[in-house]
Amino acid sequence: MEAQLNYFNYFTEIEETFIRRRAKNLFLSPLDWALMETWQEGGIPLHLVIRAIEQVFDNFDRNPGPRSIKGLVFCREEVEAQYEEWLKAQAGKPSETLTSSTPFTVGEISEHLQGLAVSLRLNSAFELAEDIDRACVRLVEIADNINDNLEQVDLSLKDVESLLDEALLSKSDRGRFAILKKETDKELRPYKPKMPPEAYKSTHRLMLLKRLREQENIPRLSLFYL
């Protein structure tokens, strides 16, 4: 539960901070959520993201520009700059092992993974059949050999998820893929000139994969989603 809570706190804390400073009722865009996922997966600590957002708004309040801060993309450079400074400050310090506790037993986690395999086998997309079968076999292996080293379990699940991600990107029905890619291109078009190529590529991939998973009903596998 703590791992799950920490995961969702990462997103909700950022969302609440941005909306509070924006001082307007609004929903974050898919691009905003993709950026948050990029930061979370990249290991950027929550407190750095919060501090960067506060700094961006503080700077804007002192020197308002012609355009308002409409999305998290306006905070991206400050988040990445503060993370870079933080990494430099961490150099030479002993590394810390991240641990998490969970109220779920090994048996319950094993049962959850078996259930994911059953769910995946319901997918009827023939172009994904081989990769889904490989993923299911691996999920059952992980479930049958699970232990209390949840970090290692989650790393194994991420490997399986990467297999499915690559299959979604390369083997999904090309007609549906083209439509979803076009939708993603359109949504990101206003931001593309302002983003470094690598950041744009990463964000585009995350947003496209999110749409593909929803289209093909492919669940996320990380224990964070347990």
Query: What is the tens place of the pLDDT at every residue in 21-54?
Result: 887 766 677 788 888 888 887 788 889 999 999 9
The yes-or-no verdict on residue 212 having pLDDT over 90 is yes
Residue where a domain stops, chosen among 38, 66, 90? 90
pLDDT class of 132 with cuts at 50, 70, 90: very high
CB 129 within 8 A of CB 152: no
- Both 115 and 200 in one domain: the answer is yes
Q: Number of structural domains, the chain?
A: 2
Picking from 83, 69, 72, 77, the residue whose alpha carbon sits closest to that of residue 37 is 72
Q: Is residue 82 part of a domain?
A: yes
- Both 112 and 85 in one domain: the answer is no
Q: What contacts 217, CB < 8 A, 6 or more positions away?
A: 122, 123
- Both 75 and 138 in one domain: the answer is no
The yes-or-no verdict on residue 91 having pLDDT over 80 is no
Residue where a domain stops, chosen among 56, 90, 124? 90
- Both 111 and 192 in one domain: the answer is yes
Q: Is residue 98 part of a domain?
A: no
- Can you state the angle between helices 30-41 and 2-22, rounded to 10 degrees? 130
- Both 58 and 14 in one domain: the answer is yes
Least confident interval from 26-30, 96-100, 140-144, 160-164? 96-100
Is 43 or 156 the better-scoring residue by pLDDT?
156
- Both 49 and 159 in one domain: the answer is no
Q: What is the percentage of the chain residues whose pLDDT exceeds 70?
A: 86
- Both 129 and 215 in one domain: the answer is yes
- Both 216 and 125 in one domain: the answer is yes
Domain that holds residue 43: 2-90
Least confident interval from 11-25, 113-127, 205-219? 11-25
What does the buried/exposed string (b/e) look like for 109-133 if buried means 16 or more CB atoms within 10 Å of the residue's CB?
bbebbbebbeebeeeebeebeebbe
pTM recorded for the entire structure:
0.64
- Both 134 and 171 in one domain: the answer is yes
pLDDT class of 170 with cuts at 50, 70, 90: very high
Q: What contacts 191, CB < 8 A, 6 or more positions away?
A: 31, 71, 73, 200
Kindly tell me the burial class for residue 203, based on how many C-beta atoms sit within 10 Å of its own C-beta (0-12, 13-18, 19 or more).
buried
Q: Is residue 216 part of a domain?
A: yes
Mean pLDDT of the chain: 83
CB 204 within 8 A of CB 183: no
Q: Is residue 66 part of a domain?
A: yes
Q: Is residue 100 part of a domain?
A: no
- Both 119 and 20 in one domain: the answer is no
The yes-or-no verdict on residue 152 having pLDDT over 60 is yes
